Amino acid sequence: MADTDRIEREITIAASAERVWELVSRPGWFVNDGELRDHELRVEGDVTVVVDPVHGEFRLRTETLEPPRYAAFRWLGEDGGSTLVEFHVADREGGVLLRVVESGFDSLPGTDVERRERLAENTEGWVQELDLARTVCEEVRVA
């Protein structure tokens, strides 16, 4: 039986934990559609409003930052619901394993059908975002 409350995905990245941390510790880096864009970040109390030039505004609260291994953000919905997005960075031969866990779908407002649609959309989205993380973190940077 499929889990209806959480998404877990992982990807191996040929980069250092510190390099991956630079990306995953940025609030809202994952708000895009496969292209890493610069976001305007606006702080309102303990909430960071991420303004994406294509998709609009998203509200996130940073829950935990433990460099360079763990970052957790609460993704706050306009409807009062939220999910917890966690990034785990573990050393692997030749790089790191980046694992994302997004949980809390069962407690979101709306019908079961609406919650399952959000789960399905985000499940597909994490495949795209983890591929983007690998591409960005493996890029050769010129000093």
Residue 1, domain member (yes or no): no
- CA 65 remoteness from chain centre: 13
Residue 77, domain member (yes or no): yes
Give the tens place of pLDDT for each residue, 84-125: 999 999 999 999 999 999 999 999 999 999 999 999 999 999
Cα separations in angstroms, 83 against 12, 17, 91: 24, 25, 26
44 burial class (0-12, 13-18, 19+ CB within 10 angstroms)? exposed
What is the number of domains present in the chain?
A: 1
Task: Note the pLDDT of residue 78.
Answer: 87
The range of the structural domain enclosing residue 125 comes to 6-35+63-138
